[in-house]
Amino acid sequence: MPTVKSSKNMVAIKQIRFLTDHTFVLRLDRTDFNFKPGQHLTLGVNNSLQHREYSIYSGDKDDYLEILVREILEGDISVQLKNVQVGQPVEINGPFGILRINEEDLPDKKFILIATGTGIAPFHSFVRSYKNMDYTIIHGVKYSNEAYEKSEYDFHRYVLCTSREKKEGFQGRVTDYLRKIPVTPDMRFYICGNSKMIYEVYSILRNKGVQTNDIFSEVYF
């Protein structure tokens, strides 16, 4: 895959969109920031030396950048980001990361996108960028209100797995759902979320006969 040169930019906040009390989307000026869907950037506020990595939520053809942020009360960056104002400048660096689609696979492969929480961000970028992509998203959350902007996905291609309530979708973890579904040789698996989930998904897929070179992952924590 071709590399994308990283860059450092000061950009302005264009919009803040709250999805839950603690989760929100920041829309930023894109300027000349180029990236491949699935990559991430680092972001800092008010000339802070602290920067945090965020997967790019927007599509590669959008004229803005978006990131999906969950406020971590004991964290620094996410708390600051929750309180930014429209027009405020922030510093972004990047792009970084190798969680990217091999575009040669798009015509004849099925993409199984497995995420927990805000780990769905790079897959949102995939879906916005590759309009003809044959995908299924398996999204694990605690509560159904964490199905972030699920209307953006094809209803038949989005599987919500809720672990702490029985309201909609599949009741259980993504790994419980994954154990129940068949796999085929034309599938490519992409995983993004916490490390424990990723290790468990790898184990399930290997037991189902999926080759390691057909599995791609990004660890959030």
Q: What is the pTM of this model?
A: 0.92
Q: Would you call the peptide bond into 95 cis, given omega within 30 degrees of 0 as the criterion?
A: yes
Of the pLDDT bands very low, low, confident and very high (cuts 50, 70, 90), residue 3 is: very low
DSSP states along 72-121: -TT-SHHHHHHT--TT-EEEEEEEE------GGGTTT-EEEEEEEGGGGH
Tokens coding 69? 């942020």
Number of separate helices (H) and strands (E) present in the chain: 4, 12
pLDDT in tens, 83-102: 899 999 999 999 999 999 99
Q: List the CATH code of the domain at 7-96.
A: 2.40.30.10
pLDDT in tens, 107-128: 999 999 999 999 999 999 999 9
Of the pLDDT bands very low, low, confident and very high (cuts 50, 70, 90), residue 220 is: low
Domain ranges, ordered by start, for the chain: 7-96, 103-219
Question: Does the 103-219 domain belong in CATH 3.40.50.2030?
Answer: no
